[in-house]
Every structure is written in C-alpha cells, then in structure tokens.
Amino acid sequence: MKARTSDRASYTDDDRTLPQVWVLQGHRTGDNLQVQALADGLGWPWASKTLEWQKRLPRWTPLYGRSAHLNHLTPKARGAFAPPWPDLVLSIGWRSVPVTRWIKSQCNARLVHLGRPRAPLAPFDLVLTTPQYRLPDSPNVVQLSGPLTAMSPDMLTASAAAWAPQLADLPGPWTAVLVGGDTPTLRFPSEAADVLAAACNRHAAQNQGALLIATSPRTPARVTEILRQSITAPSFFHVWHKDADNPYAAFLKLADQFIVTNDSISMTQEAALTGRPLHIFPLTSQDRWRDSAMRSLDGKLRRGDSAIARVYLRMIREGVLYPPKSPSDYFQALLRDGRAAMLGKPGARGQNVPVLPETEAAVQAVRALFETTHATQTGNT
C-alpha cells in the first residue's frame, strides 16, 4: 500500500478498514526517516504531520514532557491537527511528547515513540528504544539492537545495479569503507585519518581485494584529502556531495566486508544488518568529563536489586530523571555479540543466520499491540 504523506490525507473507504496513522516529523532528517520506515513497514495508510516550533522550548525537559498541548507549535502546524483522528501516532524525539499526549487527549489513538521520550513512559503504548538510551525494562518498552533503517531490499538492489558497471574492474573481495566525521563527543583528527588509511591498505592486501570508499556529510575535507592521497590499494573513492548520486546503498548490497567509523550508529547498523563481517574504526573521544561522570554514576545507581536501584529506575520510568545517552553501549553490544570487531582485531566473522532487521522487529511489536487490543475488545463483546 502506498503511504499517505500529505498533511491532510483523504482516505478511501478501503483504507478506513485499516488503522489510520499519523507520523510526527520534526527538524532532524535521520529521525524522520526512522518513523517513515516504520510507517511504510506497517503498510497502513499514514499522513505526515510536520512539527514547526514558534517558541523556545524549555530546558528542563521532564516538566515539558508531562504536558499535553500544542502551545509551542506555529499556527500553521497546529492547524494540521484536526479530525479525522488517527488510530496510531508514531513519534520520535522529546520535542514531540506534548503533541502526542494532546492527540491522545482528543481521541483513543495508540502512541508509539521511538528512542527516548525524556518523559513518563506510561502514557505510551510502546516505546521502541535502543541500547544507547539506557531505558529500564518496562512492559511497554521494546529494546531494539539499533535504530530503524529506511533501506529496503528493492532500494539496495536498484542502487547496486546502477553502480555495478563502475566497479566491475575492481578485484574482489570488496570491502566497503564508510567514513563519517566529527560529532559532539568524537573528532576525526588528521592523525586518525593517517591511521585509517594505513589500516585500509593492510586490510586490502591481506584480503587481496579492493576498497569501496564513501565519505559522508560530516567528513572533514582534510580527512578526505588524506585518505585519497594515502590509500594505495585498488579502490573506488566517492566523495559525498549533496547534488551527487551516492553509491552508499550499492556498497551495502555489494560489499563482502565493511569498515565503518564509530561516529554514526545508523551507518553502522545498516552495515551490521547485512550479516557480513564488520570492522569498527574508533575516532578520538572528546567526551566532556561531566558526561562521562554521569554515565558512570548511572551505571552504579542501577546496579543490582538494591532499594536505591529500584527507586532510581522508577524515577526514570516516571520521567523525573532520564539516563545519559551512551552511544558506546551500542558498539559494545555489537562487539560482545560477535557481530563486529575492532579494525585489525580478530572476531569480525559475520553471522551465519539472517538478521531480523530492526524495522521488521518494530513492525511486529506495533502489529502485536493492535492484535492484542482487537482480541481484548472481541472478548469483551
């Protein structure tokens, strides 16, 4: 079924036999792609509702997340929230929480949130989260191994067919090198680019194959230049540009192995979901001491079954506190499960069984929510 993406979708009579979905979208492209992927995976008719803000949002988010209103939206954005009401609301990011709760107050829609709401968990029918957010176990919390991906099999196949002729002369096996860049907690200095280039040359020589290299919007120009000058192995080098076709999806389909920098969980997850050997290249941490101390304190407070741990986890569930974000938890889980290894270390063996994509796992969880509700309603009649 085609997705409905206009702000005011008009549904057919056949569509009305299926749950109607509103997808709340904000200012982050990656977040929007995740909720769209979930909506497309469900196959139910959906309408996009764009969140545009006119007021500066409060700094203390636990109080913000306890409210139910549209006060911070622009008049145009508020006008999109009107009957007919949906059966399901998909949201992501803490900014959307008062909007989702307001919609719930107008109708009986189910609320499904991706990531971490920074608010009480109880109002949501499902919270689909990942290890980096450190949310405690709860009946309505589903722990996914990583973020949802918008990469469909058809998209990968089409991209591979388009790019394969340009790669045909390269010797196999192929290793895709997916290069990121600086983040608030990681940086990509020139020295790291030198180390990565040397490691890629060694890897290609050991495997007697070629490298498929792609940079990203965050890759510093100096890093790109160092890699281009220093990588001497047979390779295809693509420099990201907003107006240029991107072979990233083709690389995901065609590569036999992957080398990925650890600045992007989404990029790493998409490589991991192929089930092929994955090597992680660590960038230089510039974590602030306060963030590091908060993660350490979080680990100590939730340890064991003490009264302190129970109170602390309850405060997180009730939205009084929210744990510090820890992207390293995602990578540690990959390494612990044998789904990846640090570049140059043994262990990146890939998986012998197909991986359940997180999008499919999320779709199953949402469908189960509606099947449970339908069964309950049927039993009460």
Residues 309-333: pLDDT tens digits? 999 999 999 999 888 888 888 898 8
Measured at the alpha carbon of residue 111, what is the angle toward residues 109 and 115, in degrees to the nearest 5? 165
Q: Which two tokens stand for residue 200?
A: 């890629």
In this prediction, residue 290 carries a pLDDT of 75
Picking from 353, 351, 317, 316, the residue whose alpha carbon sits closest to that of residue 337 is 351
Residuewise pLDDT in 10s, the chain (381 residues): 333 343 434 444 455 689 999 999 998 888 998 999 999 999 999 999 999 998 778 777 778 889 899 999 999 999 999 999 999 999 999 999 999 999 999 998 999 999 999 999 999 999 999 988 999 999 999 999 888 887 888 889 999 999 999 999 999 999 999 999 998 889 999 999 999 999 999 999 999 999 999 999 999 999 999 999 999 999 999 999 988 999 999 999 999 999 999 999 989 999 998 989 999 999 988 766 777 788 888 888 888 889 999 999 999 999 998 888 888 888 988 898 888 999 988 766 655 444 567 888 899 999 999 886 544 444 444
In this prediction, residue 305 carries a pLDDT of 85
In this prediction, residue 168 carries a pLDDT of 96
Residue pointed to by tokens 């979901």: 273
DSSP H or E segment with residue 94:
none
pLDDT in tens, 4-58: 343 434 444 455 689 999 999 998 888 998 999 999 999 999 999 999 998 778 7
In this prediction, residue 102 carries a pLDDT of 97
In this prediction, residue 4 carries a pLDDT of 38
What does the alpha-carbon distance between residue 365 and residue 90 come to, in Å, rounded to a whole number? 13
R_g over Cα of the chain: 22
Instruction: Please state the pTM of the whole predicted model.
Output: 0.81
In this prediction, residue 3 carries a pLDDT of 39
Q: Which two tokens stand for residue 48?
A: 């996009």
Task: In the chain, count H helices and then E strands.
Answer: 13, 14
The CB density around residue 237, as the number of other CB atoms within 10 Å, is 15
Cα 170 to its chain centre, rounded Å, is 32
What does the alpha-carbon distance between residue 208 and residue 56 come to, in Å, rounded to a whole number? 55
In this prediction, residue 15 carries a pLDDT of 55
The burial class, CB within 10 Å (0-12 / 13-18 / 19+), for 289 is: exposed
Whether the CB-CB separation of 103 and 84 falls below 8 Å is answered with no
Residues in the chain: 381
